[in-house]
Structure 1
Amino acid sequence: MRSIKRAAAAAALALAAVFASGGAAPAGAAGTTTTETYTVWHWNVSGHKINGGLATTGMVAAAVGSIKSQDPSPDFVSFNEICYAQYKEIRDQLNSAPNAWTQATNYARFSATHQPDPAAPPGTGICKGQEFGNALFSKAQLRSSQTFILPADYTQAEADSGAYHEDRSMLCAQLEDQQSMKFCTTHITTANRRLPDPVNSAKINTQQLGAVRDILKGFTDNGESYLVAGDFNAEPDMSRMGSLMTTHTELDSTDSRCLNYGEWTAIDNPAINDPDTGLAPCAANEGNPKIDLILARTDKLADPAQGFTADSKSIPATCTIDRETQQLCSDHRVLIGTATITLPVFTTLPGDVTPPAAG
């Protein structure tokens, strides 16, 4: 298990890697820019809690079917709370006939936030003894990727005692043919306590959001563009989102029924799933919060006023653990967003590394 000190050290190294080249002009940039339109598909799939770590509940089929059926087809796909077996099955199906979503060979990344307990009997525990975490996929070929560890939302004593904990992180990958463009996914903690000092420290969810902000600023300082999706466990208008929302736009923020907020994405009220109930989509009216977000840096939007859009979809109710009783496949809805992004034209970034094979 990762200790607090190790997590903090990893976070520091990750941030150092981002900022190391922040002042250097990317090779070949020469002030030239272009615009590209990208579509992002995101889902927190509750891979363990609702789907039991299985790839056979119907969740994988629902996810792959949704991705392949979208028009326009997504350029990027993001998953939170996914088990490794589910990730592998989705990875393989997205690249397989019929109707393959991608022809790329290096298009998938997985980053574990919780490791299996080596002392547990095989096939038991979280994800039936597999890794649990975040994943991203790209329709186009990927180059390098990085996992940035966020401030720990557990104490060393809790880790030592065997209490469940996650190493919250942000996973980012760079496109091979557009090396000035990155896509990221993250899952921020639900914890609202103060760590490491229970009195004087900032709340840990605020710390993690601040770390995400700083990592993204490093990309901007390095001349890069990006989109980031994930379960932020914070609504767009919450104060702790302020450090991100001052420089970013959430792609569903122009929803005509809930301006600057968007449709809800996570269930607090299980009686409401269908977005076409006739009720207003705001959490204040429906009791279900908007915590899954797709963020673009506002000054990189080709048209900051209307060059983006997003929508959330009903949760499929076709999943089953016992092969008999159908249930909702997750407690979150799929969020799909499109944005036209301005990005610099260059072929080589400072510090480029050989990309790993698809994980």
Structure 2
Amino acid sequence: MRTLVRRILAVAAALLLVPVTAPQAAQAATTKRLTGLQWNVSGGWKYQTGGATTLMINTLFDAIMSRNPIPDFVALNEVCQSQYSALITKLQATDWPADETNFARFQATRNAEAGPDNPDVCQGNPVGIALFSRQPLGAAIRIPLEPNPAFDKDEIRHLLCAPTTTMTVKYCVTHITPTPFGTAGKAQLEQVLGHVEQFEAAGETVLVAGDFNGTPSWPEFDVWYHPSVDTTANSGNTGNWREMDDADPYCLGYGEGTTKATTGSPCGTGTKIDMIFFPNDRLAGQHSGDSLPLSTCGSELCSDHRIVWGWADLSID
């Protein structure tokens, strides 16, 4: 019996000497202020000549470099591939990109075609959407959207995304088809929402910008905006997303207009169709947005869209 007791005590003593490994703690989330800039440059329809492209690129470059905070992410619509390349070259001469060989992605949405209203779109080069990032980028994700036969006769709309390689952040840009009678491209909006929410569910923090060709007050956006956005200009929301300018007292819940229109919003001001969305459940502080005055290229407007930009304090895993 004493021998058995000694053995039990010996085993117990040995167990006390075995180090206990604590469960590995989950990586703590960090809060980072991410800044985005969005512009439909209308480059596919005008300013195709070299000199005019230089005017537009200089305007865009100045807008990027003069923001405070400076954008982490830039999204463009209707940009000529040649203009995209010109902006890459201009940004490479600065310290804006952390990796000057890997900070931009382009997706053609239509090939340049001659026509009575656009005799030489983009000088024979493709036109599409583009994104730029201060952080190096991973492989592009290119998702065609369901076409609207009445409007997308020679164009395939896309969602273009790319992850950063230095943090769990993914940037996306899109351009939704315009539709008549005050309704947005519902099928395309649902597709985009489904994909960005999949990215979020996988643990990424997503910013998605673009020309949505619909306004925040339209019912198609109720599944986007978070219920905390509940104002006269934007109510009935059930989603998990905020827009960087939705807290602007200019038109609370809606934001400033982004086109050259001076009416059309619930607040009696300009129509808002260009937006930068971020997930509400990642919000870890404040957010803000702004719509800049219409940009001029020489004596003409560069575009009938305004440059929009904003920032948000977001929790990043």
User: What TM-score bracket applies, with the shorter chain setting the length?
Assistant: 0.7 to 0.9
Partner amino acid, structure 2, of 1:48: G
How far 1:101 moved relative to its partner? 2.4
> Residue 187 of structure 1: which of 175, 178, 188 is its match?
175
2:293 counterpart of 1:314: yes
- 1:244 is paired with a residue of what secondary structure? coil
Identity %: 34
With over 3 angstroms needed to count, the CA separation of the structure-2 counterparts of 1:217 and 1:67, relative to structure 1, is: same
Q: How does 1:143-154 map to 2 (within 5 A)?
A: 143-154=138-149
How far 1:38 moved relative to its partner? 0.7
Residue by residue, what CA displacement relative to the aligned partner does 1:292-326 show, whole Å, maximum 9, x if unpaired? Answer: 111011111113xxx11111101122x14xxxxx1
Take 2:71 and 2:51, find their aligned partners in 1: how far apart are those partners? Answer: 22
Take 1:264 and 1:116, find their aligned partners in 2: how far apart are those partners? Answer: 29
Q: Which is higher, the Rg of structure 1 or of structure 2?
A: 2
When the two chains are superposed, the root-mean-square deviation of aligned CA atoms in Å is 2.6
Q: Which residue of 2 aligns with 1:336?
A: 309
Q: Which residue of 2 aligns with 1:71?
A: 68
How far 1:51 moved relative to its partner? 2.2
- Normalization by structure 2: what TM-score? 0.80
Q: Which residue of 2 aligns with 1:247?
A: 240
Take 1:54 and 1:259, find their aligned partners in 2: how far apart are those partners? Answer: 41
- 1:62 is paired with a residue of what secondary structure? helix
Q: How does 1:97-176 map to 2 (within 5 A)?
A: 99-104=94-99, 105-117=101-113, 125-154=120-149, 164-176=153-165
> Residue 49 of structure 1: which of 45, 51, 58 is its match?
45
Q: Which residue of 1 aligns with 2:28?
A: 32
Partner amino acid, structure 1, of 2:142: T
Note if contact 1:151-1:208 (Cα within 8 Å) is conserved in structure 2: yes
- Normalization by structure 1: what TM-score? 0.71
Q: Which runs of 5+ in 2 are unaligned?
A: 1-23, 226-238
Residue by residue, what CA displacement relative to the aligned partner does 1:12-68 show, whole Å, maximum 9, x if unpaired? Answer: xxxxxxxxxxxxxxxx99353222111111111000223236563411110011111
- 1:89 is paired with a residue of what secondary structure? helix
Q: Which residue of 2 aligns with 1:197?
A: none
With over 3 angstroms needed to count, the CA separation of the structure-2 counterparts of 1:72 and 1:166, relative to structure 1, is: same
How far 1:220 moved relative to its partner? 1.7
Note if contact 2:265-2:271 (Cα within 8 Å) is conserved in structure 1: yes
Take 2:257 and 2:62, find their aligned partners in 1: how far apart are those partners? Answer: 22
Partner amino acid, structure 2, of 1:80: N
Q: Which residue of 2 aligns with 1:59?
A: 56
Structure 1 range deviating more: 108-117 or 211-220: 108-117
Higher RCO (C-alpha under 8 Å, 6+ residues apart): 1
Q: How does 1:175-324 map to 2 (within 5 A)?
A: 175-178=164-167, 180-192=168-180, 205-245=185-225, 246-269=239-262, 282=265, 284-286=267-269, 288-303=270-285, 307-317=286-296, 319-320=297-298
- 2:69 is paired with a residue of what secondary structure? coil
Partner amino acid, structure 2, of 1:128: Q
Note if contact 2:246-2:253 (Cα within 8 Å) is conserved in structure 1: yes
How far 1:165 moved relative to its partner? 2.4
Q: Which residue of 2 aligns with 1:200?
A: none
Note if contact 1:142-1:173 (Cα within 8 Å) is conserved in structure 2: yes
Q: Which residue of 2 aligns with 1:24?
A: none
Q: Which residue of 2 aligns with 1:9?
A: none
Take 2:310 and 2:249, find their aligned partners in 1: how far apart are those partners? Answer: 15
Take 1:167 and 1:189, find their aligned partners in 2: how far apart are those partners? Answer: 9
